[in-house]
Amino acid sequence: MALFYDWGFFIQPGRDDEFRAWLADHDEQLLELAPKHYQYLGTYRPLAASDPCDYHQLWRYAADRTPDLRVAASDLDGGFTKLAQEYLSFVDASREHDETFNLYGEVPR
C-alpha cells in the first residue's frame, strides 16, 4: 500500500524569494535523488488551508515499515543528503512547533 506524507513548514523571514529560486533550480534533483521507497511529489504553497504553514512538501512512500524521511536521507551518501541540507537551511527552525506532519493511506478499492 502506498502512503502519502505531507510536511507543512515555514520559511525563514525574508528568504521566500531565495527559497523559490532554489526550488526552481533543484526541484528535479529532489525527484531524481529521493531515498529508496520515496517519490518526491513536489513542494506546494497552500492557496486555502486550515493550517498556517508557508509550504507543504509531499512524498509518496511505498514500503512496509513506518516512513521516516530524515532517517532515510541520513542513510544515503552524497547527493540527496546535501540537497536536503540545503533545503532545510531555508526552513524556520524557530517555528518547528507549528509545523504539520500528515500521513495518508490509500482507500482500498
> Is 0.85 surpassed by the pTM of this model?
no
What confidence score (pLDDT) does residue 79 get? 81
Per residue in 89-105, pLDDT (tens digit) is: 999 999 999 999 998 98
HEC profile of 30-57: HHHCCCCCEEEEEEECCCCCCCCCCEEE
Domains and CATH numbers, the chain: 3-105 (3.30.70.100)
What confidence score (pLDDT) does residue 50 get? 80
What confidence score (pLDDT) does residue 41 get? 96
Question: Which segments in the chain show pLDDT lower than 70?
Answer: 1, 64-77
What confidence score (pLDDT) does residue 78 get? 72
